Amino acid sequence: MSTLKVIQIGVGPIGQKVVKYLLEREGMEVVAAVDPAPDKNGKDLGEVCGLDKPLGITVSANLAEAMKNSKPDVAVLCTTSSMEKAVPQIEEIISHGLHVVSTCEELSYPWDTQPGLSKQLDEAAGKAGVAVLGTGVNPGFLMDFLPLAMTAVCRKVESIKVSRIQDASVRRIPFQQKIGAGLTLDEFEAKKQTGTLRHVGLAESVQMIAARMGWKLDRTEDILTPVVAEQEITTGYVPIKAGMAAGVRQIGKGIVGNREVITLEFVAAVGQADPADTVEITGDPPIKSVIPGGVNGDVATCAITVNAIKTIVSAPPGLRTMADIPPVTFFESF
Amino acid sequence: MSTLKVIQIGVGPIGQKVVKYLLEREGMEVVAAVDPAPDKNGKDLGEVCGLDKPLGITVSANLAEAMKNSKPDVAVLCTTSSMEKAVPQIEEIISHGLHVVSTCEELSYPWDTQPGLSKQLDEAAGKAGVAVLGTGVNPGFLMDFLPLAMTAVCRKVESIKVSRIQDASVRRIPFQQKIGAGLTLDEFEAKKQTGTLRHVGLAESVQMIAARMGWKLDRTEDILTPVVAEQEITTGYVPIKAGMAAGVRQIGKGIVGNREVITLEFVAAVGQADPADTVEITGDPPIKSVIPGGVNGDVATCAITVNAIKTIVSAPPGLRTMADIPPVTFFESF
C-alpha cells in the first residue's frame, strides 16, 4: 500500500506528540503542519516538536498556505475541545478533500449535544466524500467505546457504570493545575464557575452509550466536586494541605424515568489511591472489567488518534463516531 | 424501523438458546427454523426449544422447505464448528439473499487457516449482496476482538497475551465431558488423539490478531495438555481423583522469528482456582485488563450472536470478521 500523507493541524502539546508518534510509524508520513501561533508559524516542525533534528517541514500559518506545497490525504486536528470552534475548521479541511481525525472532545459524539452542527458537518463530509472522527482516550475509548464493546456478550443490559480513577501525581504539571490540585475549596469553587476545571466529553460519552443501547434518556446530570485532601499530600508539583483540593471528581449520569442507567465517574487527584479504569455492566451476564492502574492518558490519546487514521480513511463518508466504525487498533504497517 | 426477520438454522443447545434470546428482543422476529434431526424436524420450534408454549413455527427439514413459507432477512447458523462443513450451508443460505451470523468457530477468522474457502465465500457473499460473519464469545470476542480493541490506545505493541481461565464446575455436564474432566491421563491422551478435546478457534484468534497488527507470523503452535487434579475434586459431575484430568489447557502461539508475539491460554477445568479473562499487552503504554471470574460462555456466545445481527445487516457485503465491522453491542430495540 502506498504511504498515507498526513497534515498536522494544531501543534500544541498534543499535536506535537501526535507528530512524534506518526514519525515512528510505517506507511504514514507527515507532509505539512499548521499552527498560527507566533512562536510556531514559520519554524521547522521538528524544532516546534522538540525533536533533535529538523523535519524539513515549515509550520504554516493557515491551511490554504500549507496546501500550496503538499497533497495530504488526511488531517489530524488538535486545536480545540469545542465542537462549535472545530466545525468551521473541519469544513475548511474537508473542502480540500481530506479525511479528518480530531482530538476535539465534543466531536466524539455530538449528535445529541449539538444536533444542528452534527447534521451540518455530516452532510458536508458526505458531499466531500470524506470521513470525520473525534476520538481520544476519553472521550472516545475508555468511558464509551470500551463499555459499549463489552456489552456484545450480554443478553440483557440494565445499567452501565464506568469509573476512571487517576492518580495525577504522575501527570504533567498543567494537568495538575487543570484539575485544581492545591487550591483552597473557595478557589476551587471560583475556578469551577469559570468552567475550566471540567473534563470535557463526559456528556458526549453518556450520549454515545445511550444511543447505542437504544435508551431514550429523560435527563442527564454532570456533577463536579473537589476531591478533598484528608492529609497533607506531597507527591504533586505543590504541597497540598489537608482540607485543600487534591483534584476533581466529575460524575456524568444518564437517567430513564427514575433509573440511573449510565454512571460515568471521572476522578483525577494528586495522591489518589487505587487508580484504575473499571467497567461494570449490570445485566446477564454481569460483567466487571478492570484495568488496574488505569491507562496513561497522555500517551493513549495521541496513540488512538494515530491508530484511527487507518480506520477512518476507509470508513463511509460523513460524521463518524467510535461506535460506528470498525475497531481502531494499533498496526505495524499500513 | 421495521422488524427484522430471522431464520434459525440448527436447533441444538446453542440454537435453542439463540431462539430464546431472540424472542426476548424487540425489533427481531423468529420466522422459521431448520433442523433435519428426526427428533426436531416437523415439531413446533417452541417445543424443541423447551418453551412452555408453541411458537407456531414448524421446524423444517431443510432450507428450501423453510423458505417456501417465510421471508427471512437474516439466518443464524448454529450447525458446525467446521469451516469446510459450513461453507456449502452458507452458500445455500446466501443464494436466498440472506445475511448470515454463525457460531461456526472456524468461520470467525478463516482467511489464513482456509484461504481458498474464505475467498470463495467472500466472492459468493459479495455477489449475493449479503454479509457473512462468524462470531461467539471465543473465538469472536474475548481472545481476539477484545485484545485488538484494547491496542487502540497503544503507541507501540510488542506482544499480546490473553488468558481465559474457567472453572468448569459451573458449566453443563457435556462441557465437563468435552474437556476430559474425570479421565485418567491415558484416557485423556486417547481422547486428545481423536481431536474432540480441542477448543476450536484458538488458531483463528491467533490469525485475527496477527493480521490486524500487521505481524507476519513465521509459525504458530497449538499445544494441548491436561490440567491434572492435585487432590480429589468433588465439585464436578463426577468425582475426580488426584492425578486424573480435571480439564484441559490449550495454548495457541504466534511467533515471529524467535519472538512469541501472541500467546493465547485457554484453561477449562473442574475446580480451577481464580477464573478470569485477562488481556496483557506489552507495549507503550502496557495494558493489563482483567474480568475477574470471567465471562459465562454459554450465555455470551448466544448473546453476541443475537447482538451481531444488527451490525451485520448493514455491513458491506462479503465475508466479514469481528475485526472489520463496527462494534457489536447489546441494544434494546432495533
CA distances from A134 to A254, A295, A313, A334 (A): 21, 19, 14, 21
Residue whose cell numbers read 414448524? B58
- B225/B245 Cα distance (integer angstroms): 9
Cβ-contact A321, A192 below 8 angstroms: no
Which CATH number describes the domain made up of B4-135+299-320? Answer: 3.40.50.720
Cβ-contact B104, B83 below 8 angstroms: yes
A162, A165, A163, A157: which is closest to A259 by C-alpha?
Answer: A157
Residue B325 amino acid letter? I
Report the residue of chain A nearest B212, measured CA to CA.
A331
B100, B117, B137: which is closest to B9 by C-alpha?
Answer: B100
- B227/B249 Cα distance (integer angstroms): 6
CA distances from B202 to A213, A243, B79 (A): 30, 54, 19
Does B214 contact A at CB distance below 8 Å? yes
| Interchain CB distance below 8 Å, A327 and B21 | no
- A18/A307 Cα distance (integer angstroms): 10
Residues 150-189 of B with CB under 8 A from A: 151-157
Residue whose cell numbers read 487432590? B231
Residues of chain B neighbouring A149 (CB-CB closer than 8 A):
145-146, 149, 327-329
Residues 119-138 of A with CB under 8 A from B: 137
Residue B268 amino acid letter? A
What is the SS3 string spanning B198-231? CCCCHHHHHHHHHHHHCCCCCEEEEEEEEEECCC
Cβ-contact A213, B332 below 8 angstroms: yes
Residues 15-34 of B with CB under 8 A from A: 21, 24
Interface mutation target, options A19, A23, A138, A155, chain B, most CBs of B under 10 Å: A155
- A334/A21 Cα distance (integer angstroms): 14
Q: What average pLDDT does the segment B306-316 reach? A: 97
Q: What average pLDDT does the segment B85-101 reach? A: 98
pLDDT of residue A196: 85
The residues with which B318 forms a beta bridge, in sequence order, are: B131
Q: Count CA within 13 A, CB hemisphere, residue B174.
A: 5
- B140/B117 Cα distance (integer angstroms): 19
pLDDT for B196 beyond 90: no
- Tens-digit pLDDT profile for residues A82-119: 999 999 999 999 999 999 999 999 999 999 999 999 99
DSSP string covering A278-319, please?
A: EEEEEEES-EEEEEET---HHHHHHHHHHHHHHHHTTSPSEE
Three-state DSSP at A255 gives: strand
Cis peptide preceding B13, ω within 30 of 0: no
What is the pTM for the complete model shown? 0.97
pLDDT of residue A289: 98
Q: How far is B306 from chain A (nearest CA, A)?
A: 8
DSSP, res A59: P
Three-state DSSP at A266 gives: strand
- CATH topology for A4-136+299-320 is Rossmann fold (3.40.50)
B64, B83, B84: which is closest to B9 by C-alpha?
Answer: B64
Cis peptide preceding A139, ω within 30 of 0: yes
- B299/B277 Cα distance (integer angstroms): 15
Report the residue of chain B nearest A154, measured CA to CA.
B303
Does B276 contact A at CB distance below 8 Å? no
pLDDT bin (cut points 50, 70, 90) of residue B134 is: very high
Q: What are phi and psi of B62, to 5 degrees?
A: -155, 170
| Interchain CB distance below 8 Å, A330 and B285 | no
Residues 278-317 of B with CB under 8 A from A: 283-285, 287-293, 295-296, 299-300, 302-304, 306-308
- B127/B230 Cα distance (integer angstroms): 56
- Going residue by residue through chain A, which has 334 residues, state the pLDDT in tens, using 9 for 90 and above: 579 999 999 999 999 999 999 999 999 999 999 999 999 999 999 999 999 999 999 999 999 999 998 999 999 999 999 999 999 999 999 999 999 999 999 999 999 999 999 999 999 999 999 999 999 999 999 999 999 999 999 999 999 999 999 999 888 888 888 899 999 999 999 999 998 888 899 999 999 999 999 999 999 999 999 999 999 999 888 899 999 999 999 999 999 999 999 999 999 999 999 999 999 999 999 999 999 999 998 899 999 999 999 999 999 999 999 999 999 999 998 7
Query: Domain-by-domain residue ranges, chain B?
Result: 4-135+299-320, 145-294
| Interchain CB distance below 8 Å, B291 and A291 | no
The ipTM assigned to this model is 0.97
The residues with which B165 forms a beta bridge, in sequence order, are: B267, B276
Residue A162 amino acid letter? V
CA distances from A193 to A224, A292, A299, B30, B248 (A): 10, 33, 30, 54, 59
Cβ-contact B75, B64 below 8 angstroms: no
Across all residues in chain B, what is the average pLDDT? 96
pLDDT of residue B110: 98
Residue whose cell numbers read 457473499? B125
Does A327 contact B at CB distance below 8 Å? yes
Cβ-contact A83, A104 below 8 angstroms: yes
Report the residue of chain B nearest A331, measured CA to CA.
B213
| Interchain CB distance below 8 Å, A24 and B156 | yes
pLDDT bin (cut points 50, 70, 90) of residue B1 is: low
pLDDT of residue B271: 94
Q: Name the grid cell of B205.
A: 484468534
Gyration radius of chain A's alpha carbons:
20
| Interchain CB distance below 8 Å, A326 and B325 | yes
Report the residue of chain A nearest B157, measured CA to CA.
A330
Does B109 contact A at CB distance below 8 Å? no
- B187/B189 Cα distance (integer angstroms): 5
Residue A219 amino acid letter? R
Residues of chain A neighbouring B293 (CB-CB closer than 8 A):
288
Burial of A27 (0-12, 13-18, 19+ CB in 10 A): middle
| Interchain CB distance below 8 Å, B287 and A287 | no
